[in-house]
């Protein structure tokens, strides 16, 4: 089955710096890759996603890149701010019996220091 | 929270007791999901539903059952709670007009089994 590995598990940056989180997936049939941000005590919030027919997608300070050949995708946050501090999860979607199953990475705890 | 509420938000129970968690949505989405979140494991799918009375198992379904008698409610039941079921439980929905892989999460229920 699909397996998603996420690195690093923790990341500490200074405010204004960039942060990059990387994920690899195992099943080449995966075709949808969302990223979620989870703040303490809250549910995961979808922040950006990319489908397999696109190599890069941007939304203000965040961007996601996808390399289908290498089976990895990354989240890039530029000009980080303290409110970006949270746990970030990547996921890969795989079709299974008419339903698209999401497999999640273990998460990255990002700390942005003022 | 995409119109999703979960109840209770926190629960402490004893081993061997039955527990039911409720997910309620206000927008008549067809697809609903239950996940559990544990440190180092990201989110793992327990069960999902693709309509009233239509449910199926996810990757960690042992010890759990679900029911969906109305579009708006998806119930998760632990018939006899065990300490290994101590976790944070999240409900999610997929909007009808989107692919089933785009999912939005509720606020979560923290369950402690003593």
- pLDDT tens track for B69-109: 999 999 999 999 999 999 999 999 998 655 667 899 999 99
Query: Nearest to residue A65, comparing CAs of A78, A54, A81?
Result: A54
Chain B residues whose CB is inside 8 A of the A93 CB are 101
β-bridge pairing A86-96 and A32-38: antiparallel
Are B98 and A93 a contacting pair, CB within 8 Å? no
Cα–Cα distance measured from residue A4 to residue A8, given in angstroms and rounded to the nearest whole number: 13
Are B31 and B8 a contacting pair, CB within 8 Å? no
Q: Which residues of A43-56 are buried (b: 16+ CB within 10 A; e: fewer)?
A: bbebbbbbebeeee
CB contact under 8 A, A99 and B100: yes
| pLDDT tens, residue by residue, B15-59 | 999 999 999 999 889 899 999 999 888 899 999 998 899 999 998
DSSP β-bridge partners for residue B43: B37
| pLDDT tens, residue by residue, A35-54 | 999 999 999 999 999 988 88
A26, two tokens: 């195992």
Q: Say whether residue B102 is in contact with chain A using an 8 A CB cutoff.
A: yes
CB contact under 8 A, B108 and A93: no
Cα–Cα distance measured from residue B25 to residue B73, given in angstroms and rounded to the nearest whole number: 7
Model pLDDT, residue B98: 58
For residue A94, name the pLDDT band (cuts at 50, 70, 90): confident
Query: Nearest to residue A70, comparing CAs of A16, A23, A109?
Result: A23
């Amino acid at each position: 089955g699909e397996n998603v590995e996420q690195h690093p598990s923790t990341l500490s940056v200074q405010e204004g710096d960039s942060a990059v989180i990387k994920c690899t997936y195992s099943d080449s049939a995966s075709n949808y890759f969302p990223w979620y941000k989870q703040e303490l005590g809250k549910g995961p919030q979808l922040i950006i996603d990319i489908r397999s027919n696109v190599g890069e997608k941007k939304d203000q300070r965040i961007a996601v890149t996808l390399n289908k050949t290498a089976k990895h995708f990354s989240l890039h946050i530029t000009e980080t701010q303290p409110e970006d501090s949270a746990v970030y999860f990547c996921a890969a979607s795989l079709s299974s019996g008419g339903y698209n199953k999401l497999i999640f990475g273990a998460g990255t705890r990002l700390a942005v220091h003022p | 929270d995409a119109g999703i509420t979960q109840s209770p938000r926190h629960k402490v129970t004893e081993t061997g007791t039955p527990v039911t968690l409720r997910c309620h949505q206000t927008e008549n989405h067809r697809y609903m999901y239950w996940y559990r979140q544990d440190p180092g494991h990201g989110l793992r799918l327990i069960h999902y539903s693709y309509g009233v009375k239509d449910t199926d198992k996810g990757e960690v379904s042992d010890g759990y059952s679900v029911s969906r008698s109305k579009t708006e409610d998806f119930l998760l039941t632990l018939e006899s709670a065990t300490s290994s079921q101590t976790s944070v439980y999240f409900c999610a929905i997929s909007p009808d007009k989107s692919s089933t892989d785009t999912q939005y999460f509720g606020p979560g229920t923290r369950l402690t089994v003593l």
